[in-house]
Amino acid sequence: MGGDHGPQVTLPACQAFLKSHPQAELVLVGSAAALQAADGWPRCTTVAATEVVTMDDAVEVALRKKRDSSMRVAIQQVKDGAHACVSAGNTGALMAVARYLLKTLDGIDRPAIATVMPNRRDGYTTVLDLGANVDCTPEHLLQFAVMGSALVAAVDGKPEPLVGLLNIGEEAIKGSETIKRAGELLRAAGDAGQINFHGNVEGNDIFKGTVDVVVCDGFVGNVLLKTSEGLASMMSDFIKQEFTRGPLSKLAALAALPVLRRFKHRVDPRRYNGAALLGLRGLVFKSHGSADAYAFEQALARAYDSARNRLLDRVHDRLGPSIKALPGGADAAEQAA
């Protein structure tokens, strides 16, 4: 029910996902009227909810007043045994409700939104946080680094992913007091063998592929994400405009079209849709609110692949040895034991 378009996008995406993933099963949660369109779909069940969290609802409304919202009912499915939840709805509400129902992993104070961005090494860079936590302490950034490292190790099979701290310069003396203190904590964790810390990185390092994981607060991360999406959109518009100009421009654009199309495909943000809410005791994925059917299908596929590859268990196992490196983590480790 969430996002800018609601069922007119999410339902076709779900139908396409089921066709391309014959082993998958879906539980669709929404209003009874919207779910009628899914009657008779194979490998699909429906659960009706009487309320919907809107994009401008305050977190308190979603958490305390709309107890039968489609968002809350969907996350409850994960608590009751579903493998993952995907939503294009209100990000703040999704994070708050997921944290309330599923709780966080031992040693983690706040979940973070983690996604991948393409880099020129023909791979991608994992970045977190992308908007869940606007105000972060140095300790939170350390937790994000440990979680991001665990995620890449689990998904990509890299035993020691390289971690960078996003800053205005590579030098340790640069940045705000929070960033400088976070750098100290990350270096200490690196010296202790808990993470493979590269040091400070700048925004262009994300697309260079300098490191495997880039850590930042949610404000900076969200601006970074929206900027990269804007650049990809501008590239698409540029290609179209070149074909509306004079004959020479059209000829040049035609000659460059194969390269431009490959580049457009490479940086298309729809292909990377579906950000993990990392640090929860369950898999929850956030789709971009403006996602079209193709993009939402990619988010479903990302969640499905993560569940099939036991991402939650593997991240939890990877986090176990690193809990003690986190402030307050020794107590969490003892409680977990």
Predicted pLDDT of residue 230: 76
Centre a 10 Å sphere on the Cβ of residue 119 and count the other Cβ atoms it contains. Answer: 18
Residue 217 lies in a domain: yes
Residue 307 lies in a domain: yes
Asked if residues 302 and 19 have their Cβ atoms less than 8 Å apart, the reply is: no
Residue 57 lies in a domain: yes
Tally of domains in the chain: 1
Ordered DSSP codes for 190-227: HHTTSSEEEEEE-HHHHHHT--SEEE--HHHHHHHHHH
* CATH number, domain with residue 173: 3.40.718.10
- What's the angle, vertex CA 218, arms to CA 28 and CA 201, rounded to 5? 125
In the beta sheet, which residues pair with residue 11? none
What is each CA distance from 223 to 114, 117, 218, in whole angstroms?
14, 14, 8
Residue 2 lies in a domain: no
Range of the domain at 141: 7-336
Residue 1 lies in a domain: no
Mean pLDDT by 10 residues, the chain (337 residues): 93 97 97 95 96 94 96 97 96 94 89 91 91 89 91 84 95 93 93 92 94 96 85 69 71 69 66 90 93 95 90 79 58 48
Residue 275 lies in a domain: yes
Burial of 3 (0-12, 13-18, 19+ CB in 10 A): buried
Residue 91 lies in a domain: yes
Residue 165 lies in a domain: yes
What is each CA distance from 63 to 30, 69, 100, 331, in whole angstroms?
17, 9, 8, 29
Please choose, from the candidates 137, 148, 134, the residue with its C-alpha nearest in 3D space to the C-alpha of residue 215: 148
pTM, full prediction: 0.84
